[in-house]
Chains A and B, each alone.
Chain A
Amino acid sequence: MEHIVIIGNGIAGVTAARHIRKLSDKKITIVSAESEYFFSRTALMYVYMGHMKFEHTQPYENHFWKKNRIDLVNAYVTKVNTQEKLLHLDGAPDLNYDKLIIATGSKPNKFGWPGQDLDGVQGLYSKQDLELLEDNAPNNTVCKRAVIIGGGLIGIELAEMLRTRDIPVTFLVRENSFWNSVLPSGESEMINEHIRDHHIDLRLGASLKQINSDENGGVKSVTLAETGEEIECDLVGLTAGVTPNIDFLKNSDIELGRGVKVNRFLETNVENVYAIGDCAEQHEAIGNRRPIEAVWYTGRMMGETLAQTICGNRMEYNPGHWFNSAKFLDIEYQTYGWVFPERKKKENETHFHWRHPKEKLCITLAFDKDSETVLGINTFGIRLRHEVFDRWLSEKRTIDYVMEHLRDANFDPEFYKNFESQIVSKYNSDLGKSINLKKKNLKRIFQLN
């Protein structure tokens, strides 16, 4: 029986394992040093905040793995020998494979800052990071202030987590507005306000020069590059992005770039070795996507696709329209298609932006200024129906059409106040149009005839 070994039990590896099991009877082994069972990385923050216990982050009950004949090995892979198809493990006997799937995810970026390896300096990615955070910042007497470096999704999550324990947080963002390498300025500005509403000391245009040590090798303070200001703190959170977790492959035959190099079939340069998820790097980026996509659902999709290939139906990784979501403290964010920030916008991309006069709600639509085809949408505090917007993107609908049918795309809970009429009236006045908003129509939404 063919033996499939998967390194990493995150969403990519586990999805591959589940689908291979559905399609075949092959022997499947998952090796992970991080945790005994698969858990949802995205939920780690809720454990620190007390919304959940760690076991709640595990999507499958413990008996699931045995029932589905997926063997779990709790060990660290030290070396991959592709000649002999052999894995050297720390914590378990060596393991032979017929096909190998590398799905080891990411690790936090460190950019060589002085002091980045002191006690009290950490990233937030793994279960071990969460445990370390409980040590470093159990409460506001042990951790009197935390400084977070890097204004992305993990940075704001870490800030939110620490604030639930009333730990004062200084949040250093290198850009002059939060996450404005991704978000257009109106949206980015709204999030800046919301961060400050949560009593987080947000420093824009501020980057780290160095982390200063106390006499015991722990963190004492950080020094800012721009002003030279020194901020005393007990915890430094490094959240300036992630990088593929592939150091254990450095002396193998597998071709590496920043990640494990793969083709569209998720195959590496070595036969029978594949890579999926955060650690995989496409030779060429797909569409507007990045060569390395460290996103939950792309890991899942790569797992679904590779399972087909492994089970005899060789298939390209071919993601559909881009989408994503996040939550910034209390504000939910969803995006479908592509909306670029001002500095990355292509020539033909135009934006329409609406923001609620009082509440923290806004929406940005990107469209082609010549054809008026919709390119993408960002919403904050308003939920959209994935299926409907995905369909509109496939059908290359114009912005007029989208505005007219905007109510069909709303996914807010029942009885919520809706803002489509305000949005459309601003659209009409901004662009000199006279669109009439249509009523929500179940037949259109569910595609019934």
Chain B
Amino acid sequence: MNSQTYHKSMALTGEPPKSLSISQKLAVLLGLSGLGILLLAVFNVNFPNKTLWLTLSLLAITVGIVWFSWDAYSKKIPGIKNDGVWFKSISSRGLWGWVAGLSLTGFYIVLYFYPEYLGLVNGGDNKGVIGLFDPLSKFLSGNLASQWFVYGTLYTVAILAFGIKFLWKYRHNRYERLRTWSVMFFQTAFAFIIPELMARLNGDKILDGGSLPYYDLKNIWPLNYYNFEGYRIKAFLSSGEIGFALLIFGILSIFVITPILTYKYGKRWYCSWVCGCGGLAETAGDSFRQLSDKSTFAWKVERWVVHSVVVFVTLMTTAVIYSYLGTDTSKYWLTKSTFLIGVAVLLTLVFGWAMIFKRDQLQKDAQYGAIGYFVIIIALIGFHFFSGDGQIFLFKSETLRKSYSFLIGSIFSGVIGTGFYPIFGSRVWCRFGCPMAAILGFQQKLFSRFRITTNGGQCISCGNCSVYCEMGIDVRAYAQKGENIVRSSCVGCGICSAVCPRGVLKLENGPLEGRIDSNQVLLGNDVDLMTLVNKK
């Protein structure tokens, strides 16, 4: 019976609200022709004037997207624009969704593992599509392009062009608009232009002749899992005061700045206002947000997987730092032993605080998981002291680092996380994989002023909020109980509040007291009944 309604809807091939206007078709053609130029370059078609053709290609892509969006939204009255989302094959896991998903996945596999097919040449002018980007790269950093430069450029173009689309789509909503301007800015300036320009300083007097590592300042450990690796530390330390300041900034980012901002605003300050992964998900991925899995089963998987990644990245980073530290206190105060003790103390403090003061807010399986992982980490650290100066964590640090980089850094965040946008939704990586999101989420759940407030008894259980939650949170389950939404995974994108037809949800920062407000009986009912049933 359920499927009946659905199938009939699918019968309206090519009709409103699913159909494209002539302008939109032309815009798609223009955008595809821009991609076509890149594809030709991949197959080593030699473009005589690289600067001109690259400009043409990027312009065609951008204009195509912007033109399409203009036609879709500008003539309509401002408001929610989700008509036909589940009828269009691209946004409902139809044929075009799969085609897009497989193409993106293929692109990521080539990008991460076979850059030579994109034309990467070590120690010489690049060929293919990477060669096409050489002039732009030289203009910015003075160096030749790499596959990462190509990727970074396309990534930025995607966030900017789809960002404009998002700005039009939600032009009635200032929260959405400001947030989108913010991710567009951070991507363009912090992830793309500043690091390229910083590369120009390398070898300069100002860096004492040193070379800074490529550093996107907003990319914080553990998302930036390699930030404290030996080669980067060396590079930071050899680059004068600026290098040292950047290293300190990297440490402060995770241990000071992040906790303060997360306490005040929730993890959204990062995940949907600053982060590049979040930026792409919110702009290019917006058409796929409804595809996230809302089942309780998916939630269970999410909690185990994402927290396992946190444990993995902590172990890996500890092992890597441990591997390049010395043992002699007279040379440098931080030795292998002091470092490990420091890590153990920090983890014990966090673990102890959560278990003693916040235990009532942790689910049973979360408690078991936390205890289990804590014991493992501490045992592994203790192993070092008991087994003498052997290798730490049973594995070589290099093995750990390589496996993490391959499994999490490439496969999870890239191939699955972005490649599968049209299949699993736009925040698969953020939800199931990102260790930064997990750490921020842990704090958001236990120690933050942020919540999504449910407005008394106004919820009508329609489910728009749940459907359009990219993190797969069943928002309705809370709203219909009159309970505030305090979930570690919430990135604060604000779309649940936007699509709610009854004004039930509001993202806000407020006092910790009464932040989770669970009611058996909702506001609007008999006052005596409410007190009777809600007393705990």
Contacts and interface: CB of A to CB of B under 8 A. Distances in A.
Contacts of B525: 301, 304-305, 318-320
A135 to B, nearest CB: 7
B252 interface: no
Contacts of A42: 460-462
A82 to B, nearest CB: 28
Interface residues of A, number: 77
Interface stretch (A43-51, A144-152, A173-181, A227-235): A43-51
Interface in A117-153: 127, 130-131, 134-135, 138-141
B506 A55 contact: no
Given A51-B82, A130-B5, A321-B524, A413 B507 contact: yes
A315 interface: yes
B458 A325 contact: yes
A164 B16 contact: yes
Interface stretch (A86-94, A329-337, A430-438): A329-337
Given A43-B462, A318-B529, A330-B77, A48 B9 contact: yes
Contact of A383 (B455, B467, B513, B529): B455
Residue from B4, B455, B508 with most neighbouring chain A CB atoms (10 Å): B455
Contacts of A425: none
Given A164-B83, A320-B524, A332-B503, A53 B6 contact: yes
Contact of A413 (B5, B463, B480, B497): B497
Interface string B501-515: 111001110110110
A145 B508 CA distance: 45
Contact of B464 (A46, A55, A59, A390): A46
Interface in B78-102: 78-80, 82-88
A332 B11 contact: no
B425 to A, nearest CB: 14
Interface in B167-216: 172-175, 178
A40 interface: yes
A59 B77 CA distance: 30
Nearest to A325: B502
A140 B442 CA distance: 51
A248 interface: no
A316 interface: yes
Interface stretch (A207-215, A218-226, A269-277, A414-422): A414-422
Contacts of B533: 304, 308
B513 A54 contact: no
A318 B531 CA distance: 13
B173 A413 contact: yes
Contact of A198 (B77, B456, B457, B466): B77
A36 B1 contact: yes
A438 B116 CA distance: 65
A308 B295 CA distance: 31
Contact of B455 (A19, A49, A300, A385): A385
Interface in A418-449: 442, 445-446, 448
A323 B461 CA distance: 16
A22 interface: yes
A51 B174 contact: no
B17 interface: yes
A308 B529 contact: yes
B15 interface: yes
B522 A330 contact: no
A99 interface: no
A107 interface: no
Contacts of B523: 320, 386-387, 390
Contacts of A35: 1
Interface string B52-86: 00000000000000000000000001111011111
Contacts of B376: none
Interface in B471-530: 476-477, 480, 494, 497-499, 501-503, 506-508, 510-511, 513-514, 520-529
Interface string B5-46: 110110110011110000000000000000000000000000
Interface string B215-231: 00000000000000000
Contact of A127 (B5, B84, B502, B532): B5
Interface in A24-63: 35-36, 40, 42-43, 46-59, 61
B6 to A, nearest CB: 6
Given A51-B82, A325-B503, A387-B523, 7 more contacts: A11-B461, A296-B460, A329-B79, A330-B79, A387-B455, A413-B506, A416-B175
6 contacts: A54-B6, A164-B16, A300-B457, A315-B529, A325-B503, A413-B506
Going nearest first, the 4 A-B pairs with the smallest beta carbon separation are: A386-B456, A330-B79, A383-B503, A318-B526
Interface of B: 1-2, 4-6, 8-9, 11-12, 15-18, 77-80, 82-88, 172-175, 178, 295-296, 453, 455-458, 460-464, 466-467, 476-477, 480, 494, 497-499, 501-503, 506-508, 510-511, 513-514, 520-529, 532-533
